[in-house]
């Protein structure tokens, strides 16, 4: 069995709770870097989802009604 100390930051938004789990004693700069990396990955996921959901472009002949 492992016993570990940690700090959890919880933010409630409606019915959901978002948690950022941090090892006890972690340096603030490293925590900041890790949080930034998580946010960057979330933005990338959102951009990829938006690209997949975007309507496909029509060829030029169909756009002009020919």
Q: Domain residue spans in the chain?
A: 27-51
What gap in Å lies between CA 36 and CA 33, rounded to an integer? Answer: 5
pLDDT of the residue at 33: 98
Res 27 pLDDT > 80: yes
Per-residue pLDDT averaged across 42-54, rounded?
93
pLDDT of the residue at 20: 95
Residue 50 CA neighbour count, 13 Å, CB half: 6
Res 60 pLDDT > 80: no
Mean pLDDT of the chain: 90
Residue 24 CA neighbour count, 13 Å, CB half: 4
End-to-end CA distance of the chain: 71
In the block, residue with structure tokens 């019915």: 15
């Amino acid at each position: 069995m492992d016993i570990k100390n940690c700090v959890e930051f919880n933010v409630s938004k409606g019915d959901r709770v978002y948690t950022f789990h941090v090892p006890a004693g972690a340096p603030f700069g490293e925590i900041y870097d890790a949080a930034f990396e998580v946010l960057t990955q979330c933005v990338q996921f959102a951009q990829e989802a938006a690209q997949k959901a975007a309507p496909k472009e029509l060829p030029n002949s169909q756009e002009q009604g020919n």
